[in-house]
Amino acid sequence: MQLVIQSTQQLTQAVLLNQGIPLEYVLQQNSDIQTAGNIFKGRVVHILPGMQAAFVDIGLEKKAFLYIDDVLPEGLGKRKDFKPSIEEVLKPDQTLLVQVIKEPEGRKGAKVSTHISLPGRWIVYLPYAGYVAVSRKIAHEDERNRLKQIAETFGKKRK
């Protein structure tokens, strides 16, 4: 008899073999599903003016943390001469789409951002930035340029 176990973050599989013939198969989904990269519709539940951050309910056990630089339009959060306060940008009970950028850990909830990015094998689509990036892994310059032209028209449709 032989027991073969394969385990990943999402599930565990076990097979009991007798002379190479499966006798029993067990599949169990793990409860600690990874959330990094997932997109949620969240609700602002608490604003922390001193930290320039907010807690957002995204349906997980702990509230998610949203820092001001992760909610402002790209580039504005990096400016030192002007940055609105968190209260000017978010309101209690406001709903917004957020993407998990850091898993919950210990007593802390997930860290989230409103800068949604949808990565693919050859492109990264940033819907709210109206931008599509083409991978540098595409070796042929003509193909990269062709895809960039397509991506530019696709990105402009969201503006």
**Which pLDDT band, with edges at 50, 70 and 90, does 159 fall under?**
very low
Same domain for 90 and 151? no
Residues 10 and 67 in one domain: no
For tokens 């630089």, the residue is: 69
Are 85 and 57 part of one and the same domain? yes
120 versus 114: the higher-pLDDT residue is 114
Query: In this structure, are 107 and 150 located in the same domain?
Result: no
How do residues 87-103 score in pLDDT, each as one tens digit?
999 999 999 999 999 98
Q: What are phi and psi of 84, to 5 degrees?
A: -65, 160
Q: Is the dihedral of CA 119, 125, 129, 131 positive or negative?
A: positive
How many domains would you assign to the chain? 3
Domain limits for position 72: 39-113
User: Is residue 58 domain-shared with residue 98, that is, in the same domain?
Assistant: yes
Same domain, 43 and 23: no
pLDDT tens string 13-24: 889 888 999 988
Q: What tens digit of pLDDT does each residue of 49-75 get?
A: 999 999 999 998 899 999 999 997 655
What's at 122, amino acid-wise? W
- Is pLDDT of 6 > 90? no
CATH for 65: 2.40.50.140
Mark whether 16 and 44 lie in a shared domain: no
My answer on whether 99 and 58 are in the same domain is yes
